[in-house]
Amino acid sequence: MGEAGAAGRRVPPRSIGDRGIIGDLETAALVARDGTIDYLCWPALDSPTIFADLLDDEKGGAFWLAPRLADARRLQLYLPDTNVLVTRWMAQEGSAEVLDLMPHPDAVGTLGARCLLRRVTVTQGTVGFDARCAPRFDYAREVPRVEGGGRSVRFVGADLALRLHASMPLIVGKGEGEAIADFTLAAGDSAWFVLGDDSLTRPDAAPVEAAVDATARAWRRWLGHASYKGRWREQVLRSALALKLLTSARHGSIAAAATFALPEATGAGRNWDYRATWIRDASFTVYAFMRLGFVDEAEHFRRWAGERVMQADQEHPIRVMYAIDGSEAADEHELDHLAGHAGSRPVRIGNAAHAQTQLDIFGELLDSTYLSNKYGAAMSHAGWQHVRGIVDFVIAHWQEPDAGIWEMRGPPRHFLHSRVMCWVALDRAIRLAKKRSLPAPLVAWAEARDAIVADVWANFRHPVHGYFVQERGGTALDAALLMMPLVRFVSSTDPVWLETLDAIGAQLRDDGLVYRYRDDDGLEGGEGAFTTCTFWYAECLARAGRLEEAQLMLEKGIAYGNHLGLFAEELDRRGAALGNFPQALTHLAFISAAYFLDRRLDPGYRPNWQP
């Protein structure tokens, strides 16, 4: 039913990237370009879905809302500087638009409870509409019963109840667990639907309009703190808005993506759950936020991460990932009853990678800690003791194999990226101790740091060509090596690094597409190009002084975003979206590349070697 309109009209299948995202800093919904909300977890981003048509267009559940306009052109845009989404239909006989939002936390009081708000308006002609709200609770394992009628209905399940209020009459549908509406509006007329918590009372038009206005103002007020004025500003700020939607206002944690189980290769088993806070991705996000002037988000995450460190034990000072609320991430299991996006199964929730050893996370965490302390509040004595504990752990374990940044599911290996990030952990701790005059065994730390440098240069180079390689004693390349000059492990103009950059360009790049690696990772099916790597590659080109190449690469990367400037995790050979969406790591990599390239293109640019 997911590919049919509310009246059963078939529409073309929706690709992963054919959507916008809205949210309230606790959860997020995806809105397809045909007006269907086909993905929403409730009440939190990592809660079970109430709409999952994206993952099973027969039984996943969705909220369909569309005009009856033949051969209409469909457009989507955001209200400027907000996360309020507008979907438009334009046809010969008329035009209409649906405005979708989830009230910002500063605007929730206008309606009295958290909710999803949809307002439809006719802009030309007289237009009929079909609406159908069919939630399916608990990852579509439960069809709720429907109570009521008129202009309010209640969806009731075993552990969850939601209310739908509307300005138009609602009818309990012929199918189970659904409410429908069929109505007509003339030019200038509007109607609205509000779906939310069971405590939601039926509003009238005034608070609905107040919620729209207050939400738009709240987003613009937040974006007004952005300090970035450079090139690609509109795209950079859209990425910032997307990253903010993945940030929990309650906890300060940052999700890797809004979704789960979207395939990295159609029809294969590379379908993972990204609704958790990876220490790596979130730490990078902090860097992006700070570059743009959003210091509060960086400080909020630093406090959240600090709590995780303080609760850890000496054997595992920090985990690879956590649930949004900071608890242990969920174990991985499969939802056998769901067909999967485009038939891609299994549909997985939870992520087994939470139990892996990934040594690079200590580097990313201490890099973000260093930056937060450099530009924000000073570290407490207790916080510094925990940093020292992390450093001791890194010194004891940096020579061990691990699963690496790409979370390989085979035997542990000695990955170069992990070595480099262990170096970052030690380097940033040393810098922080010196900057804040904090007590530390600096000689021992520096010796360990330098030992990592010697190991990398001696053991992680191609035996014939001399460039850096993915793992100790190997010959394969890895796009994660692009981080080496970005974290200042190696000069961006070092001859060995430049040979590595050229080798990555020759072996892992296909025009604007950049693949993570080419060797076998032990999983079925191939995978797409990794969008993050396109922007890492562009920034490395810029740092090497190859500005024309860097600018073209950045523009190609931007073109791989969807119609709203949102990036998916991966791309197929046609440049179409694959994997979870939108992907935080890609948006922050774009921000970093645009930020540096803008500075580098400034005629007055002077290199600054301080991280």
pLDDT digits (tens, 9 = 90+) for 322-353: 999 999 999 999 999 999 999 999 999 999 99
pLDDT at 287 over 60: yes
- Find tokens 């690609």 and name the residue: 232
pLDDT at 609 over 60: no
Q: Which residue has the higher pLDDT, 40 or 525?
A: 40
* Phi-psi label, residue 267: left if phi above 0, alpha if psi -120 to 50, beta otherwise: left
Q: Where do the domains of the chain lie?
A: 19-199, 233-601
pLDDT at 9 over 60: no
Q: Give the amino acid at 71.
A: D
Identify the CA nearest to 88 among candidates 58, 67, 59, 114: 67
64-77 average pLDDT score:
96
The pLDDT score that the predictor gives to residue 608 is: 58
Q: Which CATH number fits domain 233-601: 1.50.10.10, 3.90.950.20, 3.40.50.620, 3.30.420.40?
A: 1.50.10.10
Give the 3-state secondary structure of 333-371.
Answer: EECCCCCCHHHCCCCEECCHHHHCCCCCHHHHHHHHHHH
pLDDT at 297 over 60: yes
Q: Which residue has the higher pLDDT, 607 or 336?
A: 336
Tokens of 298: 């960086």
The pLDDT score that the predictor gives to residue 11 is: 45
What secondary structure letter does DSSP report for 111?
Answer: T
- Cα–Cα distance measured from residue 105 to residue 217, given in angstroms and rounded to the nearest whole number: 12
The pLDDT score that the predictor gives to residue 611 is: 40
Identify the CA nearest to 319 among candidates 348, 361, 380, 352: 361
Q: Determine which of 42-46, 124-128, 383-387 has the lowest per-residue pLDDT on average.
A: 383-387
User: pTM above the 0.85 mark?
Assistant: yes
**Range list of H helices, 185-232:** 205-223
- Cα–Cα distance measured from residue 399 to residue 409, given in angstroms and rounded to the nearest whole number: 19
H or E stretch at 590: helix 584-601
pLDDT at 410 over 90: no
Distance of CA 611 to the CA centre of its chain: 24
DSSP-assigned beta bridge partners for residue 20: 31
Q: Give the amino acid at 326.
A: G
166-195 average pLDDT score:
94
- Cα–Cα distance measured from residue 428 to residue 437, given in angstroms and rounded to the nearest whole number: 14
293-310 average pLDDT score:
86
The pLDDT score that the predictor gives to residue 380 is: 85
Cα–Cα distances in angstroms (integers) from residue 207 to residues 112, 153, 201, 577, in the given order:
9, 19, 11, 38
The pLDDT score that the predictor gives to residue 6 is: 43
Q: How many alpha carbons fall within 13 Å on the CB side of residue 94?
A: 22
Cα–Cα distances in angstroms (integers) from residue 570 to residues 280, 327, 553, in the given order:
18, 28, 16
- How many other C-beta atoms lie within 10 A of the C-beta of residue 258? 26
pLDDT at 402 over 70: yes
- Find tokens 């206005």 and name the residue: 213
- Find tokens 């562009």 and name the residue: 538
- Cα–Cα distance measured from residue 571 to residue 265, given in angstroms and rounded to the nearest whole number: 9
- Find tokens 């190449």 and name the residue: 549
Using DSSP's 3-state secondary structure scheme, residue 535 falls into helix
**Range list of H helices, 25-112:** none
H or E stretch at 146: strand 145-156
The pLDDT score that the predictor gives to residue 270 is: 85
- Cα–Cα distance measured from residue 118 to residue 100, given in angstroms and rounded to the nearest whole number: 5
Q: Which CATH number fits domain 19-199: 3.55.50.30, 3.40.50.720, 2.70.98.40, 3.30.470.10?
A: 2.70.98.40
**Range list of H helices, 488-546:** 495-507, 531-543
What's the sign of the alpha-carbon dihedral 410, 412, 415, 418? positive
How would you classify the pairing of strands 62-67 and 190-197? unpaired
562-578 average pLDDT score:
95
- Find tokens 């931007």 and name the residue: 558
Contact 22, 258 (CB under 8 A): no
566-592 average pLDDT score:
95
pLDDT at 299 over 90: no
State pLDDT tens for residues 94-120.
999 999 999 999 988 889 899 999 999
- Cα–Cα distance measured from residue 98 to residue 114, given in angstroms and rounded to the nearest whole number: 19
The pLDDT score that the predictor gives to residue 586 is: 97
225-251 average pLDDT score:
96
State pLDDT tens for residues 148-169.
989 999 999 999 999 999 999 9
- Cα–Cα distance measured from residue 219 to residue 157, given in angstroms and rounded to the nearest whole number: 33
Tokens of 83: 């996360």
Tokens of 395: 């010194």
Identify the CA nearest to 136 among candidates 79, 181, 185, 178: 178
pLDDT at 520 over 80: no
Contact 356, 332 (CB under 8 A): no
The pLDDT score that the predictor gives to residue 491 is: 97
Q: What's the chain's average pLDDT? A: 92
The pLDDT score that the predictor gives to residue 285 is: 86
pLDDT at 5 over 50: no
